[in-house]
Protein backbone atom coordinates (compact mmCIF):
# COMPACT_ATOMS: atom_id res chain seq x y z
CA UNK A 1 0.00 0.00 0.00
CA UNK A 2 1.06 3.67 -0.43
CA UNK A 3 3.43 2.58 -3.18
CA UNK A 4 4.80 6.07 -3.93
CA UNK A 5 5.77 6.47 -0.26
CA UNK A 6 7.33 2.99 -0.10
CA UNK A 7 9.34 3.68 -3.26
CA UNK A 8 10.51 7.06 -1.97
CA UNK A 9 11.70 5.40 1.25
CA UNK A 10 13.96 3.15 -0.81
CA UNK A 11 15.20 5.73 -3.28
CA UNK A 12 18.96 6.09 -2.92
CA UNK A 13 21.02 8.50 -4.98
CA UNK A 14 24.62 7.35 -5.35
CA UNK A 15 27.55 7.68 -7.74
CA UNK A 16 27.74 4.62 -10.01
CA UNK A 17 31.25 5.45 -11.24
CA UNK A 18 32.31 6.00 -7.65
CA UNK A 19 31.00 2.56 -6.70
CA UNK A 20 32.93 0.96 -9.55
CA UNK A 21 36.06 2.82 -8.49
CA UNK A 22 35.98 1.79 -4.82
CA UNK A 23 35.16 -1.81 -5.76
CA UNK A 24 38.09 -2.00 -8.16
CA UNK A 25 40.44 -0.40 -5.66
CA UNK A 26 39.31 -2.82 -2.93
CA UNK A 27 40.69 -5.77 -4.91
CA UNK A 28 43.76 -4.06 -6.31
CA UNK A 29 42.34 -3.21 -9.72
CA UNK A 30 41.90 0.02 -11.62
CA UNK A 31 38.65 1.61 -12.78
CA UNK A 32 39.27 0.30 -16.29
CA UNK A 33 39.25 -3.26 -15.01
CA UNK A 34 35.50 -3.13 -14.25
CA UNK A 35 33.61 -4.95 -17.00
CA UNK A 36 30.06 -4.52 -15.69
CA UNK A 37 27.83 -3.51 -12.81
CA UNK A 38 24.32 -4.96 -12.57
CA UNK A 39 21.60 -4.98 -9.94
CA UNK A 40 21.30 -8.36 -8.27
CA UNK A 41 18.46 -7.88 -5.80
CA UNK A 42 16.22 -5.49 -3.89
CA UNK A 43 16.16 -6.86 -0.37
CA UNK A 44 14.29 -5.75 2.72
CA UNK A 45 17.09 -3.45 3.86
CA UNK A 46 19.64 -3.21 1.03
CA UNK A 47 20.05 -2.85 -2.72
CA UNK A 48 22.59 -5.38 -3.97
CA UNK A 49 24.78 -5.23 -7.08
CA UNK A 50 27.14 -7.63 -8.83
CA UNK A 51 30.38 -6.03 -10.04
CA UNK A 52 32.37 -8.08 -12.56
CA UNK A 53 36.02 -7.48 -13.41
CA UNK A 54 37.47 -8.11 -16.85
CA UNK A 55 39.41 -11.09 -15.49
CA UNK A 56 36.13 -12.70 -14.34
CA UNK A 57 36.33 -11.84 -10.63
CA UNK A 58 32.86 -11.08 -9.25
CA UNK A 59 32.16 -8.89 -6.23
CA UNK A 60 28.99 -8.03 -4.33
CA UNK A 61 28.18 -4.43 -3.39
CA UNK A 62 25.45 -3.78 -0.81
CA UNK A 63 24.02 -0.31 -0.28
CA UNK A 64 21.48 0.14 2.54
CA UNK A 65 18.25 2.00 1.80
CA UNK A 66 17.73 5.39 3.49
CA UNK A 67 15.15 3.70 5.77
CA UNK A 68 17.63 1.08 7.00
CA UNK A 69 18.45 1.84 10.61
CA UNK A 70 20.35 2.39 12.72
CA UNK A 71 22.33 4.40 10.18
CA UNK A 72 26.06 3.78 10.31
CA UNK A 73 25.73 1.14 13.02
CA UNK A 74 23.89 -1.44 10.89
CA UNK A 75 26.70 -1.45 8.31
CA UNK A 76 29.48 -1.30 10.90
CA UNK A 77 28.06 -4.17 12.93
CA UNK A 78 27.40 -6.46 9.97
CA UNK A 79 30.97 -6.01 8.75
CA UNK A 80 32.49 -6.65 12.17
CA UNK A 81 30.21 -9.65 12.73
CA UNK A 82 31.11 -11.23 9.39
CA UNK A 83 34.81 -10.70 10.08
CA UNK A 84 34.38 -12.16 13.56
CA UNK A 85 32.71 -15.22 12.00
CA UNK A 86 35.47 -15.48 9.38
CA UNK A 87 38.09 -15.32 12.15
CA UNK A 88 36.43 -18.37 13.73
CA UNK A 89 36.34 -20.32 10.47
CA UNK A 90 32.69 -20.00 9.50
CA UNK A 91 31.74 -19.99 5.79
CA UNK A 92 31.11 -16.29 5.24
CA UNK A 93 32.02 -13.88 2.42
CA UNK A 94 35.29 -11.98 2.69
CA UNK A 95 34.87 -8.24 3.26
CA UNK A 96 37.02 -6.17 0.89
CA UNK A 97 35.94 -2.64 1.81
CA UNK A 98 33.14 -0.75 3.52
CA UNK A 99 32.04 2.72 4.57
CA UNK A 100 29.65 3.58 7.38
CA UNK A 101 28.99 7.10 6.10
CA UNK A 102 28.07 8.78 2.82
CA UNK A 103 31.31 10.81 2.88
CA UNK A 104 33.00 8.76 0.16
CA UNK A 105 33.14 8.59 -3.67
CA UNK A 106 29.94 6.50 -3.71
CA UNK A 107 27.94 9.08 -1.78
CA UNK A 108 26.32 6.37 0.35
CA UNK A 109 27.11 3.71 2.92
CA UNK A 110 28.35 0.53 1.25
CA UNK A 111 29.94 -2.87 1.74
CA UNK A 112 32.09 -4.53 -0.93
CA UNK A 113 32.40 -8.26 -0.36
CA UNK A 114 33.28 -11.54 -1.99
CA UNK A 115 30.63 -13.24 -4.11
CA UNK A 116 30.02 -16.56 -2.39
CA UNK A 117 30.43 -19.60 -4.64
CA UNK A 118 27.61 -22.06 -5.16
CA UNK A 119 23.92 -21.36 -5.54
CA UNK A 120 21.27 -20.20 -3.07
CA UNK A 121 19.63 -23.15 -1.35
CA UNK A 122 16.23 -21.64 -2.20
CA UNK A 123 16.70 -22.65 -5.85
CA UNK A 124 16.59 -26.33 -4.84
CA UNK A 125 15.01 -26.51 -1.39
CA UNK A 126 11.46 -27.44 -2.39
CA UNK A 127 12.59 -30.16 -4.80
CA UNK A 128 14.98 -31.90 -2.39
CA UNK A 129 14.23 -35.27 -0.84
CA UNK A 130 14.00 -35.59 2.93
CA UNK A 131 17.45 -37.22 3.00
CA UNK A 132 18.93 -34.28 1.08
CA UNK A 133 17.26 -31.77 3.38
CA UNK A 134 18.57 -33.68 6.39
CA UNK A 135 22.06 -33.42 4.93
CA UNK A 136 21.71 -29.64 4.85
CA UNK A 137 20.13 -29.51 8.32
CA UNK A 138 23.01 -31.52 9.74
CA UNK A 139 25.47 -28.91 8.48
CA UNK A 140 23.39 -25.96 9.68
CA UNK A 141 23.06 -27.38 13.19
CA UNK A 142 26.82 -27.96 13.21
CA UNK A 143 27.32 -24.28 12.33
CA UNK A 144 24.92 -23.23 15.06
CA UNK A 145 26.60 -25.51 17.59
CA UNK A 146 29.97 -23.96 16.75
CA UNK A 147 28.53 -20.45 17.17
CA UNK A 148 26.91 -21.40 20.49
CA UNK A 149 30.26 -22.73 21.71
CA UNK A 150 31.89 -19.27 21.45
CA UNK A 151 31.13 -17.63 24.77
CA UNK A 152 31.17 -13.84 24.63
CA UNK A 153 31.52 -11.37 27.52
CA UNK A 154 28.36 -9.28 27.05
CA UNK A 155 25.25 -8.87 24.93
CA UNK A 156 24.63 -6.37 22.16
CA UNK A 157 26.14 -5.89 18.71
CA UNK A 158 29.69 -6.57 17.54
CA UNK A 159 31.71 -3.66 16.16
CA UNK A 160 35.21 -2.63 15.29
CA UNK A 161 35.99 -0.12 17.98
CA UNK A 162 37.21 2.32 15.34
CA UNK A 163 33.65 2.52 13.96
CA UNK A 164 32.22 3.73 17.28
CA UNK A 165 32.33 7.11 18.96
CA UNK A 166 35.22 7.35 21.44
CA UNK A 167 32.85 7.81 24.39
CA UNK A 168 30.86 4.64 23.61
CA UNK A 169 31.00 2.07 26.40
CA UNK A 170 32.41 -1.18 25.03
CA UNK A 171 33.47 -4.62 26.17
CA UNK A 172 36.46 -6.17 24.43
CA UNK A 173 36.06 -9.61 22.87
CA UNK A 174 38.91 -11.93 23.89
CA UNK A 175 41.40 -12.62 21.10
CA UNK A 176 39.74 -9.94 18.94
CA UNK A 177 41.45 -6.77 20.21
CA UNK A 178 39.96 -4.41 17.64
CA UNK A 179 36.42 -5.61 18.09
CA UNK A 180 33.93 -4.49 20.68
CA UNK A 181 30.39 -5.11 21.75
CA UNK A 182 27.92 -3.71 24.24
CA UNK A 183 25.75 -4.64 27.23
CA UNK A 184 26.48 -6.37 30.45
CA UNK A 185 24.37 -9.08 32.11
CA UNK A 186 21.23 -11.06 31.22
CA UNK A 187 19.33 -8.79 33.60
CA UNK A 188 20.59 -5.68 31.79
CA UNK A 189 19.66 -7.25 28.46
CA UNK A 190 16.10 -7.97 29.56
CA UNK A 191 15.66 -4.47 30.98
CA UNK A 192 17.32 -2.60 28.11
CA UNK A 193 14.50 -3.11 25.63
CA UNK A 194 11.84 -1.77 28.00
CA UNK A 195 14.00 1.19 29.01
CA UNK A 196 14.65 2.04 25.37
CA UNK A 197 10.94 1.95 24.54
CA UNK A 198 9.99 3.95 27.63
CA UNK A 199 12.55 6.65 26.84
CA UNK A 200 11.31 6.95 23.27
CA UNK A 201 7.62 6.93 24.21
CA UNK A 202 8.08 9.44 27.02
CA UNK A 203 9.76 11.98 24.73
CA UNK A 204 8.34 11.22 21.27
CA UNK A 205 5.13 9.17 21.35
CA UNK A 206 1.74 10.69 20.58
CA UNK A 207 -1.76 9.19 20.60
CA UNK A 208 -2.21 7.09 17.45
CA UNK A 209 -4.44 4.48 15.88
CA UNK A 210 -3.41 0.87 16.55
CA UNK A 211 -1.08 -0.41 13.84
CA UNK A 212 -2.95 -3.73 13.68
CA UNK A 213 -6.23 -3.38 11.82
CA UNK A 214 -7.97 -5.95 14.03
CA UNK A 215 -7.16 -3.88 17.12
CA UNK A 216 -8.78 -0.74 15.76
CA UNK A 217 -12.29 -2.14 16.25
CA UNK A 218 -11.33 -3.20 19.77
CA UNK A 219 -10.52 0.43 20.58
CA UNK A 220 -13.64 1.74 18.81
CA UNK A 221 -11.52 3.30 16.05
CA UNK A 222 -10.13 5.86 18.47
CA UNK A 223 -6.53 6.91 18.92
CA UNK A 224 -4.89 5.31 21.93
CA UNK A 225 -2.59 7.02 24.38
CA UNK A 226 0.97 5.74 24.95
CA UNK A 227 0.45 6.03 28.72
CA UNK A 228 -0.94 2.49 29.28
CA UNK A 229 1.95 1.01 27.30
CA UNK A 230 4.48 2.96 29.35
CA UNK A 231 2.78 1.64 32.49
CA UNK A 232 2.96 -1.95 31.14
CA UNK A 233 6.68 -1.54 30.45
CA UNK A 234 7.22 -0.17 33.93
CA UNK A 235 5.44 -3.20 35.39
CA UNK A 236 7.58 -5.46 33.24
CA UNK A 237 10.75 -3.91 34.67
CA UNK A 238 9.59 -4.86 38.15
CA UNK A 239 9.58 -8.56 37.25
CA UNK A 240 12.16 -8.84 34.46
CA UNK A 241 14.96 -10.04 36.78
CA UNK A 242 12.78 -12.99 37.79
CA UNK A 243 12.48 -14.15 34.18
CA UNK A 244 16.17 -15.09 33.99
CA UNK A 245 16.69 -18.90 33.87
CA UNK A 246 18.32 -20.53 36.86
CA UNK A 247 20.34 -22.78 34.52
CA UNK A 248 23.61 -20.89 34.18
CA UNK A 249 24.43 -22.38 30.79
CA UNK A 250 21.32 -20.76 29.31
CA UNK A 251 22.56 -17.31 30.38
CA UNK A 252 25.80 -17.48 28.38
CA UNK A 253 26.19 -14.73 25.77
CA UNK A 254 26.43 -16.13 22.25
CA UNK A 255 26.09 -15.00 18.64
CA UNK A 256 23.52 -16.50 16.29
CA UNK A 257 22.70 -15.83 12.64
CA UNK A 258 19.35 -13.94 12.53
CA UNK A 259 17.84 -15.62 9.47
CA UNK A 260 19.02 -19.06 8.36
CA UNK A 261 16.59 -19.15 5.45
CA UNK A 262 17.29 -20.91 2.13
CA UNK A 263 17.88 -17.43 0.64
CA UNK A 264 20.95 -16.92 2.81
CA UNK A 265 22.58 -20.35 2.47
CA UNK A 266 24.74 -21.21 -0.55
CA UNK A 267 25.46 -24.82 -1.50
CA UNK A 268 27.25 -26.74 -4.24
CA UNK A 269 25.81 -29.58 -6.33
CA UNK A 270 26.61 -32.02 -3.51
CA UNK A 271 24.65 -29.85 -1.04
CA UNK A 272 27.73 -28.89 0.91
CA UNK A 273 27.24 -25.50 2.56
CA UNK A 274 29.74 -23.10 0.99
CA UNK A 275 28.58 -19.80 2.42
CA UNK A 276 26.13 -18.08 4.74
CA UNK A 277 25.27 -14.47 3.93
CA UNK A 278 23.18 -11.59 5.35
CA UNK A 279 24.41 -11.17 8.92
CA UNK A 280 22.84 -7.72 9.14
CA UNK A 281 21.24 -7.04 12.54
CA UNK A 282 22.97 -10.05 14.10
CA UNK A 283 23.46 -9.61 17.82
CA UNK A 284 24.90 -11.28 20.89
CA UNK A 285 22.28 -12.41 23.42
CA UNK A 286 21.94 -14.93 26.22
CA UNK A 287 21.20 -18.45 24.96
CA UNK A 288 17.63 -18.36 26.25
CA UNK A 289 16.86 -15.28 24.11
CA UNK A 290 18.46 -16.75 21.00
CA UNK A 291 16.34 -19.89 21.20
CA UNK A 292 14.26 -20.95 18.22
CA UNK A 293 14.04 -22.99 15.04
CA UNK A 294 14.69 -21.24 11.70
CA UNK A 295 11.44 -20.16 10.05
CA UNK A 296 11.94 -22.32 6.97
CA UNK A 297 12.13 -25.39 9.22
CA UNK A 298 9.86 -24.76 12.21
CA UNK A 299 6.30 -26.02 12.45
CA UNK A 300 5.27 -24.56 15.80
CA UNK A 301 1.58 -24.29 14.86
CA UNK A 302 1.29 -28.09 14.86
CA UNK A 303 0.83 -29.99 18.14
CA UNK A 304 2.35 -33.18 16.74
CA UNK A 305 5.52 -31.32 15.80
CA UNK A 306 5.75 -29.78 19.27
CA UNK A 307 5.26 -33.20 20.83
CA UNK A 308 7.93 -34.68 18.50
CA UNK A 309 5.47 -37.38 17.43
CA UNK A 310 6.83 -39.61 14.66
CA UNK A 311 5.32 -38.20 11.44
CA UNK A 312 2.82 -40.43 9.65
CA UNK A 313 0.21 -39.97 7.00
CA UNK A 314 -3.38 -40.13 8.33
CA UNK A 315 -4.97 -43.57 8.55
CA UNK A 316 -7.62 -42.57 6.01
CA UNK A 317 -5.06 -41.18 3.54
CA UNK A 318 -6.23 -43.47 0.70
CA UNK A 319 -9.78 -42.16 1.08
CA UNK A 320 -8.79 -38.49 0.75
CA UNK A 321 -9.12 -36.46 -2.41
CA UNK A 322 -6.03 -35.34 -4.38
CA UNK A 323 -5.82 -31.91 -2.72
CA UNK A 324 -6.29 -33.35 0.76
CA UNK A 325 -3.62 -35.99 0.10
CA UNK A 326 -1.17 -33.33 -1.04
CA UNK A 327 -1.93 -31.25 2.07
CA UNK A 328 -1.36 -34.31 4.27
CA UNK A 329 1.98 -35.05 2.57
CA UNK A 330 3.06 -31.43 2.97
CA UNK A 331 2.20 -31.51 6.66
CA UNK A 332 4.21 -34.68 7.09
CA UNK A 333 7.19 -33.06 5.34
CA UNK A 334 6.98 -30.04 7.65
CA UNK A 335 6.78 -32.29 10.70
CA UNK A 336 9.79 -34.28 9.51
CA UNK A 337 11.91 -31.14 9.13
CA UNK A 338 10.90 -29.69 12.49
CA UNK A 339 11.56 -32.92 14.37
CA UNK A 340 14.82 -33.65 12.53
CA UNK A 341 16.15 -30.20 13.44
CA UNK A 342 15.25 -30.76 17.10
CA UNK A 343 16.94 -34.18 17.22
CA UNK A 344 20.08 -32.90 15.48
CA UNK A 345 20.13 -30.00 17.96
CA UNK A 346 19.80 -32.36 20.92
CA UNK A 347 22.75 -34.34 19.61
CA UNK A 348 25.07 -31.48 18.64
CA UNK A 349 23.93 -28.35 20.48
CA UNK A 350 22.66 -29.37 23.94
CA UNK A 351 22.41 -25.83 25.33
CA UNK A 352 20.09 -24.80 22.51
CA UNK A 353 18.11 -28.00 22.99
CA UNK A 354 17.73 -27.25 26.71
CA UNK A 355 16.48 -23.76 25.88
CA UNK A 356 14.01 -25.16 23.34
CA UNK A 357 12.64 -27.50 25.99
CA UNK A 358 12.33 -24.74 28.60
CA UNK A 359 9.01 -22.91 29.25
CA UNK A 360 10.37 -19.74 27.62
CA UNK A 361 11.53 -21.65 24.56
CA UNK A 362 9.31 -19.69 22.19
CA UNK A 363 10.00 -16.20 23.49
CA UNK A 364 10.63 -13.50 20.94
CA UNK A 365 13.09 -10.71 21.63
CA UNK A 366 13.78 -7.52 19.74
CA UNK A 367 17.18 -6.22 20.71
CA UNK A 368 18.08 -2.57 21.15
CA UNK A 369 19.93 -1.85 17.93
CA UNK A 370 21.96 1.26 18.79
CA UNK A 371 24.95 0.75 21.09
pLDDT digits (tens, 9 = 90+) for 50-108: 999 999 999 999 999 999 988 999 999 999 999 999 999 999 999 999 999 999 999 99
Q: pTM for the complete prediction?
A: 0.89
Residue 297 CA to residue 305 CA, distance in Å, equals 11
What pLDDT is stored for residue 179 in this prediction? 47
Mention every residue, 6+ apart, whose C-beta is less than 8 A from residue 146: 88, 89, 90
Listed range (13-27, 157-171, 231-245, 357-371) with the worst mean pLDDT: 357-371
Taking CA atoms, 233 is separated from 23, 198, 240, 251, 314, in Å, by: 46, 7, 10, 22, 46
Residue 95 CA to residue 327 CA, distance in Å, equals 43
Residue, of 292 and 360, whose pLDDT is higher: 292
Write the pLDDT tens digit of every residue in 110-149: 999 999 999 999 999 999 999 999 999 999 999 999 999 9
Write the pLDDT tens digit of every residue in 202-261: 999 999 988 888 888 888 889 999 999 999 999 999 999 999 998 899 999 999 999 999
Residue 95 CA to residue 47 CA, distance in Å, equals 17
Residues 164-192 have a mean pLDDT of: 73
* Confidence band for 181, pLDDT divided at 50, 70 and 90: very low
What pLDDT is stored for residue 184 in this prediction? 66
Residues 170-197 have a mean pLDDT of: 74
Write the pLDDT tens digit of every residue in 97-111: 999 999 999 999 999
What pLDDT is stored for residue 371 in this prediction? 34
What pLDDT is stored for residue 369 in this prediction? 39
Q: Give the number of other CB atoms < 10 A from CB of residue 170.
A: 15
- Please determine, for residue 180, whether its predicted confidence score (pLDDT) is greater than 60: no
**CA angle at 9 for the pair 7 and 12, rounded to the nearest 5°:** 90
* Confidence band for 183, pLDDT divided at 50, 70 and 90: low
Instruction: Give the whole-number percent of the chain exceeding pLDDT 90.
Output: 76
Please state, rounded to an integer, the average pLDDT across all residues of the chain.
91
Residues 287-312 have a mean pLDDT of: 93
What pLDDT is stored for residue 28 in this prediction? 97
Amino acid sequence: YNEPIRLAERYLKFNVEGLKSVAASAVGRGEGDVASLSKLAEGGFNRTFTITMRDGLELIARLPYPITVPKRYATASEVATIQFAEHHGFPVPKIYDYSTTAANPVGAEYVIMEKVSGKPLRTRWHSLTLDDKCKVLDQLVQVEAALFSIELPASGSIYHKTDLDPETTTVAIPHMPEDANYYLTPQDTMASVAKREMAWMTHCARPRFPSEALCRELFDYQKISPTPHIKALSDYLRVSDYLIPKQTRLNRFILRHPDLSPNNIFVNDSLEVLGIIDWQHSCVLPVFLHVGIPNAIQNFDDDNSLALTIPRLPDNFAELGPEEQEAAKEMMRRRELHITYVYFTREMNPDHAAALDAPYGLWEFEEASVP
